[in-house]
Amino acid sequence: MSKNILIIEDDQSIAELERDYLEIEGFEVEMASEGKSGLEAVVHHHYDLILLDLMLPNINGFDLCKQIRERTNIPILMVTAKYEDIDKVRGLGLGADDYIVKPFSPSELVARVKAHLARYERLIHNDSPKTEITVRGLQLNTSSRQVFMNGKEIPFTTKEFDLLTFFATHPNQVFSKEHLFERIWGFDSIGDNATVTVHVKKIRKKIEKDTDNPQYIQTVWGSGYRFNK
């Protein structure tokens, strides 16, 4: 579903320019030409982002920004005429998320809008970032440190989990036992690569249907192991 953006800007031609840039990118755009109708729109409709010009009739941009912020947490991008204003405005703590100086390029506007939409989305919806890896029924959750096979949890020990996670995050690559040992056990670790073999065996026992015909971690004779994605 496309995102809704509200442009609050008194200069009709600039507003239309901004609208065009954003509509090309597939955003739904609405416009308000002064603070009062802008605030009205914010209260009665849902937007994903607001583009706010500082110079406005009626309420000025400062107050408006504050008032919007009291009602919603969505990103507010302030459009200002002078670069020097930015830190002055920032210092006021109005709650704007970013500042764009006129004149700006279409790509700059679009890039900033997209960046803020993405961040807001990220913060609101997934509090914990990419933590899941799924490969043919095998599911790894790196933050809960759990392994599931077709939805059913399989208990894993620390080293087993770290090793499998390393494999799953580096699929279709052969790693020697020496390399794996260094990566999982640590550079300065003393010890024998044999423990890698043993751990691979244990992991296979837990996730492979047929241990003699492994689908996930395959042996590459003389070279090491490869996790197939």
Partner DNA sequence: AAATAAATTATAAAGTTTTTATAAACTAAT
Partner DNA sequence: ATTAGTTTATAAAAACTTTATAATTTATTT
Block residue for tokens 């947490």: 73
In angstroms, what is the minimal distance from the CB of 159 to its own copies? 8
The Cα 134–Cα 55 span in angstroms is 51
Choices 39-47, 56-64, 77-85, 199-207 (CB under 7 A): range interacting with DNA: 199-207
Question: From the CB of 76, what's the least distance to its own copies, in Å?
Answer: 10
* Residue 201 interacts with DNA (CB under 7 A): yes or no: yes
- Given a contact cutoff of 8 angstroms between Cβ atoms, the answer to whether 119 and 77 are in contact is no
Helix (H, G, I), strand (E, B) or coil at 59: coil
- The candidate with the shortest Cα–Cα distance to 200, out of 172, 222, 176, is 176
* Residue 228 binding DNA, by CB under 7 A: no
Return the H-helix or E-strand segment holding 175.
strand 174-175
53 contact choice in DNA, its own copies, none (CB below 5 to 8 Å, kind-dependent): none
Q: What residue type is assigned to position 9 of the chain?
A: E
> Which CB, 105 or 158, lies closer to DNA?
158
Site for DNA in 136-195 (CB under 7 A): 155, 157-160, 177, 185, 189-192, 194-195
Among residue numbers 33 through 72, which ones bind DNA (CB under 7 A)? none
